[in-house]
Amino acid sequence: MSRPPSRGQHAALLRGLVRPAPPALQRAHSVGDIRRLARARTPIMAFDFVDGGAEDELTLRANRAAFERVSFSSRVLVEVADRDLSTSALGTPLSMPVILGPTGTPAFQHPDAELAASRAAVAAGTVLAVSTAGSYTVGEVAAVTEGPLWFQLNPSNDPGLTDHLVDRARAAGCTALIVTVDCSVGGPRERDLRNGWTASPRLTRTNVRDALVHPDRLVRWGLRFRRGPGVHLANIAEYGGHDAVGWITAMFDERQTWAGLERIRERWGGPLAIKGIMSAADARLAAEVGADGIVVSNHGGRQLDGLPGTLEVLPEIADALAGTGVEVLIDGGIRRGGDVAKALALGARACLIARPWVWGLGAAGEAGVSRVLAILRAELDRTLALLGVTSVHDLDRSFTRYPDNYGNRYEGHQSGTGGGGA
Ligand SMILES: Cc1cc2nc3c(=O)[nH]c(=O)nc-3n(C[C@H](O)[C@H](O)[C@H](O)COP(=O)(O)O)c2cc1C
């Protein structure tokens, strides 16, 4: 018969019950929780800038829906005691197949922006891709990063600026270049318009109401924001990174073609991936121009609204590149370790996340980004065990059930360059 608890044990039990709640970050158990925390700590304008998508946000939702429509097919009674999440992408070793994707102006969320994100990435054994529209220069980020760093390039309509950015990334010691090709023009983000979150922010009904209802949030955020680099785009500072004209020159190019990519590849000379591929035809062209990788991406639903979810087109694109050696990365809507497993099973080598790490930053700076990575790692690790596999490299389509239309939608596209040269 068990003895009743002693006085000491009673006291310990009571202490456990009345122990103060752990800090909010420790109470965040999912990326969704981190998002809610960021929401509570950021004014609506800054939050919606990250959270929102283009026009009706069809593609934003399609990214999530594409993951939700895929289910797992698991194996049981497999010895899974030793699990290995490690892999590599574009020659960079990774402790897990999750990379921090490029996002512009993260200083709107936290003054340490990419400095914090890159430190968190390296501590977790992964890597950050610093955006052309970064809040800190890629050199400043490299200076605090004791590990690998990537750079994301928006090819500019000013070739001098493109060269300047490529040289800057090389000088900073970046180990891979991600070239974003889905920004011929800016995406129509209507939440930003409603919130007055434009190149010159203005008062609107939404942001005034938010300020009146949550003045504390605005003040705390404002004080934090003043400690950082502000609205300035550090990598293009010499090219007008302080004003809207400079931003547009750097971020968008209506005349960019595949020929321009070849020029960038030659100047860079290192591992290069093309980000924004949504068709097998373009994936084949990426292979032809000598890309080492592609990122299947619709820019997180922030550019062309109406594109399908990225996971939906992944199998077809992976098939198109089979045997070429071109690595297939993917982003868009990845919120769980299980989503990473689904993407790997359907043909990706690794995943990029964007909003999740930026929410982490808004929630708690570097600790918030670390928390996001820890959550995703734990979820992916558990998913592998429950699927009955011990390595991320063992995932294949047999571990999923996915709708018939995944991967057969783009055969109608011509494999041409649209007149832009090969
Ligand atoms: C706030 C924000 C800023 C972004 N800025 C860039 C950018 O400067 N360059 C780029 O290639 N992609 C940018 N993206 C797109 C992401 O890299 C990525 O493709 C997409 O957001 C991934 O989807 P997810 O946010 O659902 O993870 C940005 C995304 C967000 C949310």
Distance 77 CA to ligand 1 centre (A): 40
Task: Indicate the range of 26-30, 41-45, 229-233 predicted with least confidence.
Answer: 229-233
Does position 417 have pLDDT exceeding 60, yes or no?
Answer: no
Cβ(327)–Cβ(90) under 8 Å?
yes
Q: Which of 63, 103, 156 to mutate to test the pocket of ligand 1 (most atoms within 8 A of CB)?
A: 103
For residue 53 and ligand 1, the question of a CB distance below 6 A is answered with: no
User: What is the enclosing helix (H) or strand (E) of 39?
Assistant: helix 31-41
Q: Is residue 211 part of a domain?
A: no
For residue 133 and ligand 1, the question of a CB distance below 6 A is answered with: yes
For residue 276 and ligand 1, the question of a CB distance below 6 A is answered with: no
Distance 20 CA to ligand 1 centre (A): 37
Q: Is residue 140 part of a domain?
A: yes
Q: Which of 34, 63, 355, 369 to mutate to test the pocket of ligand 1 (most atoms within 8 A of CB)?
A: 355
Nearest CA to ligand 1 atom 28: 103
Percentage of the chain exceeding pLDDT 90: 75
Cβ(198)–Cβ(192) under 8 Å?
yes
Nearest CA to ligand 1 atom 11: 180
Q: Is residue 411 part of a domain?
A: no
What pLDDT is stored for residue 8 in this prediction?
74
A 10 A CB-CB count for 266 gives 10
For residue 104 and ligand 1, the question of a CB distance below 6 A is answered with: yes
pLDDT tens string 84-103: 999 999 999 999 999 999 99
Q: Is residue 150 part of a domain?
A: yes
The residue type found at 344 is L
Distance 81 CA to ligand 1 centre (A): 36
* C-alpha–C-alpha distance, residues 90 and 121, integer Å: 16
The mean pLDDT value of the chain amounts to: 91
Does position 207 have pLDDT exceeding 60, yes or no?
Answer: yes
Atom from ligand 1 closest to the CA of residue 102: 17
For residue 300 and ligand 1, the question of a CB distance below 6 A is answered with: yes
Band (21; pLDDT cuts 50, 70, 90): low
What backbone torsions phi and psi does residue 16 show, to the nearest 5 degrees?
-60, -40
Distance 388 CA to ligand 1 centre (A): 33
Does position 331 have pLDDT exceeding 80, yes or no?
Answer: yes
Give the structural domain span for 80: 31-192+225-398
Band (199; pLDDT cuts 50, 70, 90): low
Supply the Cα-derived Rg of the chain in whole angstroms: 22
Q: Is residue 414 part of a domain?
A: no
A 10 A CB-CB count for 292 gives 20
Nearest CA to ligand 1 atom 5: 103
What pLDDT is stored for residue 11 in this prediction?
72
User: What is the separation, in whole angstroms, between the first and last Cα of the chain?
Assistant: 82
| Predicted TM-score (pTM) of this structure | 0.92
Q: Is residue 39 part of a domain?
A: yes
Atom from ligand 1 closest to the CA of residue 106: 1
Distances (CA, A) of 125 to 6, 221, 335, 343, 379: 46, 30, 19, 20, 16
pLDDT tens string 251-287: 888 989 999 999 999 999 999 999 999 999 999 999 9
- Quick one: average pLDDT of 144-154? 98
What pLDDT is stored for residue 197 in this prediction?
82
**Residue 89: CB partners within 8 Å, gap ≥ 6?**
97, 99, 176, 293, 327, 329, 349, 350
Q: Is residue 183 part of a domain?
A: yes
Full 3-state SS string of 99-120: EECCCCCHHHCCCCHHHHHHHH
| HSE toward the beta carbon, residue 316, CA cutoff 13 A | 23
pLDDT tens string 364-382: 999 999 999 999 999 999 9
For residue 275 and ligand 1, the question of a CB distance below 6 A is answered with: yes
Distance 238 CA to ligand 1 centre (A): 23
Q: Which residues are catalytic?
A: 299
CB-neighbour burial class of residue 263 (10 A; exposed 0-12, middle 13-18, buried 19+): middle
For residue 333 and ligand 1, the question of a CB distance below 6 A is answered with: yes
User: What is the enclosing helix (H) or strand (E) of 293?
Assistant: strand 293-296
Distance 106 CA to ligand 1 centre (A): 11
Considering its fold, how many domains does the chain have in total?
1
Q: Is residue 68 part of a domain?
A: yes
pLDDT tens string 171-192: 999 999 999 999 999 998 999 9
| CATH number, domain containing residue 59 | 3.20.20.70
Does position 412 have pLDDT exceeding 60, yes or no?
Answer: no
* C-alpha–C-alpha distance, residues 117 and 107, integer Å: 11
For residue 332 and ligand 1, the question of a CB distance below 6 A is answered with: yes
- Quick one: average pLDDT of 12-27? 72
